[in-house]
Amino acid sequence: MASIYRLHGHPLSYFSRKLEAALIFYGAPFEAVEVAFGPQGMTDVRRRAGTHQLPVLETPEGWAVADTTPILFMLDGRFPRRRLFPEGPVGVLVHMIENFLDEWLGRTMVHYRWHYEECAGPAALEMARGDGKLAVEIARWGLKACRATGVSSPHQQAMAEEEYARILEAAEEQLAVSRYLMGDRPTAVDAVMIGGLRGHTLADPVPTRLVEQFPRILKWVEEEADTWDGAGLVAPIEAPTAFARLMIAEMSRSFAPFMKGLRKALKTGEKAFVARVYDEDVSYLARPYPARAADMVVEHARQALDEEEYRGMAGRARVWGLEDIYPFDPAPEPVAENVIPLSERGRR
């Protein structure tokens, strides 16, 4: 049995680089295995994990695990002193923001990569390992991803870029007062932000020019983020960081109307839906996963919080304007014995 973790992914993959950052934070022994995009990249490990997506984590005991959020919960159990989802209500807030960055900011990453030829050509060729024909197919897939995630119109593209600039500005300011974005120790929020920077916006020339305006972020992601010594605290739920407060505002502004429309479409069986986002009616593909991912946050709260804490998170979600994303019930129900904890999800 191997004594290390093996990260099967790609350096230009948002979630591969997120998981890589997390493994570094955990201090887990691992090696990166670059996997090709396209049919030739469908390895035995990915088949065992039951996914065509990246990344897949192969554990020391031979499990092939997919989906980065459940993977992080699993690793929290294995590296409890370096957990990336803190205990208590603040851990649920971390999960909320991580979920937003996973399921919403991804649209900005695909927009930058596939709507600018300066980015799309080199990225597609690298992802295709120099195969020009495959590169064309990858670029076509990228544009389909842009349409599915609602960034086809010039207005939405501009709004996505402005939103990302606000997030970067808030991160720059936060790093002037704390080592990480939720306090003085890393969380899943830092892992996904670093994943986006390393896998996309510092890999593609157009967004690189934006990120270069933020010197603290550059120093953090290139020199400082990986040097965590295991010390420090996350800001409490009663006084979250300024970065966290900005993220809550962004979620209520854009992600909430998207999720409201998505949940309605899934309930009625529609394949696509229209939501009013940034003062424009936008068409989206009704993908089930974003709703399932948001429901993981509610399940996390049910499993991790006592009744008073759960009611408090439900109240905060309403005050923050996030109830359409995270439909907390008034009170938690007992967890059934056959419910699979998040830390056990995705094991093969």
Helix (H) / strand (E) containing 274:
strand 272-277
| CATH number, position 31 | 3.40.30.10
The answer to whether residue 220 is domain-embedded is no
Strand partners, 275: 282
Q: ∠ CA 204-207-209 to the nearest 5 degrees?
A: 105
Alpha-carbon distance 346 to 68, whole Å? 10
For position 339, what pLDDT does the model report? 41
Q: Are residues 142 and 114 in contact, defined by beta-carbon separation less than 8 angstroms?
A: yes
The answer to whether residue 135 is domain-embedded is no
Number of domains in the chain: 1
For position 64, what pLDDT does the model report? 87
The answer to whether residue 103 is domain-embedded is no
Q: What pTM does this model have?
A: 0.91
The answer to whether residue 340 is domain-embedded is no
The answer to whether residue 208 is domain-embedded is no
Helix (H, G, I), strand (E, B) or coil at 61: coil
The answer to whether residue 23 is domain-embedded is yes
Alpha-carbon distance 281 to 30, whole Å? 45
For position 39, what pLDDT does the model report? 57
DSSP calls for 205-259? HHHHHHHTT-HHHHHIIIIIGGG--S---BPPTTS--HHHHHHHHHIIIIIHHHH
Helix (H) / strand (E) containing 113:
helix 106-115
The answer to whether residue 9 is domain-embedded is yes
The answer to whether residue 348 is domain-embedded is no
pLDDT in single tens digits along all 348 residues of the chain: 358 999 999 999 999 999 999 999 999 999 999 987 665 555 666 566 555 577 999 999 988 888 999 999 999 999 999 999 999 999 999 999 999 999 999 999 999 999 999 999 999 999 988 889 989 999 999 999 999 999 999 999 999 999 999 999 999 999 999 999 999 999 999 999 999 999 999 999 999 999 999 999 999 999 999 999 999 999 999 999 999 999 999 999 999 999 999 999 999 999 999 999 999 999 999 999 999 999 999 999 999 999 999 999 999 999 999 999 999 976 544 444 444 444 444 443
20 is in which domain, residue-wise?
Answer: 5-82
For position 40, what pLDDT does the model report? 57
Alpha-carbon distance 157 to 322, whole Å? 23
